[in-house]
Structures are given as structure tokens and as C-alpha cells.
């Protein structure tokens, strides 16, 4: 029997009733991460302006911004564990945004701690 907690990939979606720029900035800001992700701990970055090459550090290690398009997409990669995750932002209307989160291990292994939908529900409550 397969363990339902073992995952190769994880995708989560949520619609938040706020403009895309507000949602993007809130989720990109490292000081907000621990407000909606209990597992993240304190997150810091190595620069004032977040963009390609920015390094995020938290209790899971160091993640590099490996792709970035303001108000549209950003991707984080942990080069040590091979975890890669991305956030895609889609404008539904002037006051609604869909976030699509996707994570996987580049080496093909199982995700150790996949992001839970409850984290996104908490994010929605904080932003709206």
C-alpha cells in the first residue's frame, strides 16, 4: 500500500481577493513567511531588493531566487537538498489573484515536507 504522505510533486492553488501586486509583495517579503507558514521559522534575505540571485535563509537552509518576474512568478531553489518551488500569480480581476504553488525535488526523490493547503488558507486570511 502506498503512503499518501509520500509525494514526488505538490501543487496548491488559492484565490485571494486582493490585487495581484499586494499578494505578490506579501508572499515575497521574508518577514511575512512565518505568519502563514508555521514550518518556515524566521526567514531572512541577503539583499534589500529581492530578485534573481537573492538568497533566502530559514530553518530549512538556503534557497536562491532562480527565476523572477515581478507580479507574475518567482522560483526558489535549494541547491543542497534539490528542492525547487515556484509561485505563479494570475490576475482574475482588479481585486482578485490566484496563486499556484508547485514544488518538487530536482533529483526525483520524495518531498520531505510538502506544503499543506492549510498554509494557503492562513495566507488568504492574513491578506484579505
In a domain, residue 113? The reply is: yes
With a CB cutoff of 8 Å and minimum separation 6, the contacts of 56 are 30, 43, 44, 45, 62, 63, 64, 65, 76
Q: pLDDT digits over 41-55, tens only?
A: 667 788 888 899 999
Is the pTM higher than 0.85? The answer reads yes
User: Minimal CA–CA distance to 74: which of 63, 82, 85?
Assistant: 85
In a domain, 28, yes or no: yes
If one counts the domains in the chain, the total is: 1
Q: Is 66 within the bounds of a domain?
A: yes
Domain with 117, as residue range(s), is: 9-127
Flag whether 1 is in a domain. Answer: no
The CATH number for 27's domain is 3.30.530.20
pLDDT tens profile 64-114: 999 999 999 999 999 999 999 999 999 999 999 999 999 999 999 999 888
> Do 61 and 80 contact (CB within 8 A), yes or no?
yes
Q: Is residue 55 part of a domain?
A: yes
List phi, psi (to 5°) of 39: -85, -5
Residue 2 falls within a domain, yes or no?
A: no
Amino acid at each position: 500500500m502506498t503512503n499518501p504522505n509520500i509525494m514526488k510533486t505538490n501543487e496548491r492553488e488559492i484565490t485571494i481577493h486582493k490585487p495581484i501586486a499586494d499578494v505578490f509583495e506579501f508572499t515575497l517579503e521574508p518577514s511575512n513567511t512565518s505568519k502563514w507558514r508555521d514550518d518556515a521559522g524566521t526567514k531572512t534575505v541577503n539583499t534589500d531588493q529581492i530578485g534573481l540571485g537573492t538568497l533566502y535563509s530559514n530553518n530549512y537552509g538556503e534557497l536562491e531566487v532562480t527565476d523572477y518576474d515581478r507580479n507574475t512568478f518567482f522560483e526558489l531553489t535549494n541547491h543542497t537538498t534539490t528542492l525547487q518551488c515556484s509561485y505563479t500569480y494570475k490576475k482574475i480581476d482588479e481585486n482578485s489573484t490566484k496563486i499556484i504553488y508547485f514544488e518538487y525535488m530536482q533529483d526525483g526523490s520524495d518531498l520531505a515536507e510538502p506544503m499543506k493547503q492549510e498554509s494557503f488558507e492562513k495566507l488568504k486570511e492574513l491578506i484579505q
